[in-house]
């Protein structure tokens, strides 16, 4: 068993050094369209989804196939249907696996941990609101203009924004579709 672990570790180190020219830092700036699932069930039948917002993320690619990403969503406000605003935000860290199709196109998947928060007057008295941490995952594609700049489209499931509501038995969940620009350094 130890020999297998050592062999895998050596192959991993060799693969990182073989793709050293693909390693480096990146920064992404995206337009984000967040959707809150079960919002009208938990909050109010007249509640409205958040307006579009922004997201910023960055990370490090160890090689052309593996990297790590840290990001923040600053989404627009939702309405509880009674004149109060709800403000969702998310911070996350994820491992990213990338499969280059050719020099211009990549597809990727990611999995990690998201810390979601829903604030506002409508949740001030909520007993299940606050920060919720859970698993997040996503898929997407990159169109690379060159080695430094690319366009990215992605979908992510960000988990729960709050605990289970005792009245409805539901949770407000979050998912996102975003389009943005990637800068590689």
Lowest average pLDDT, out of 23-27, 87-91, 135-139, goes to 87-91
Residue 128 is predicted with a pLDDT of 55
Residue 18 is predicted with a pLDDT of 42
pTM of the model: 0.79
Residue 81 has phi, psi (to 5 degrees) of 85, -5
DSSP codes, 43-99: T-TT-BPPPPEEEEEEEEESSSSEEEEEEEEEPPPEE-SSS-EEEEEEEEEEEEEEE
Of 93 and 124, the one with more pLDDT: 93
Yes or no: say if 162 and 42 are a contact pair by the CB < 8 Å rule: yes
The confidence band for 37, taking pLDDT boundaries of 50, 70 and 90, is: confident
Residue 57 is predicted with a pLDDT of 94
Residue 129 is predicted with a pLDDT of 64
Average pLDDT for residues 84-92, to the nearest whole number? 86
The length of the chain, given as a count of residues? 185
Yes or no: say if 72 and 56 are a contact pair by the CB < 8 Å rule: yes
Separation of alpha carbons 35 and 45, rounded Å? 15
Q: Domain ranges for the chain, please list them.
A: 23-184
Residue 167 is predicted with a pLDDT of 75
Instruction: Pick 23-184's CATH classification: 2.40.160.20, 3.30.1330.20, 3.10.20.90, 1.10.260.40.
Output: 2.40.160.20
Strand partners for 56:
29, 72
């Amino acid at each position: 068993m130890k020999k297998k672990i050592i062999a895998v570790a050596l192959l991993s180190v060799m693969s990182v050094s073989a793709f050293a020219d693909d390693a480096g830092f990146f920064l992404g700036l995206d337009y984000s369209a967040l959707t809150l699932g079960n919002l009208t069930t938990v909050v109010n039948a007249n509640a409205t989804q958040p307006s579009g917002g922004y997201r910023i993320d960055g990370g490090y690619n160890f090689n052309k196939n593996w990297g790590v990403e840290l990001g923040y969503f600053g989404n627009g406000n939702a309405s509880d249907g009674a004149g109060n605003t709800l403000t969702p935000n998310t911070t996350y860290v994820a491992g990213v696996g990338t499969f280059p199709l050719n020099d211009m196109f990549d597809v990727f998947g990611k999995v990690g941990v998201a810390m979601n928060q829903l604030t506002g007057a409508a949740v001030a008295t909520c007993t299940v609101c606050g920060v919720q941490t859970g698993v997040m995952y996503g898929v997407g594609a990159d169109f690379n203009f060159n080695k430094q700049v690319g366009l990215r489209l992605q979908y992510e499931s960000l988990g729960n924004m709050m605990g289970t509501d005792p009245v409805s038995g539901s949770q407000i969940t979050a998912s996102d579709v975003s389009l943005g620009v990637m800068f590689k350094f």
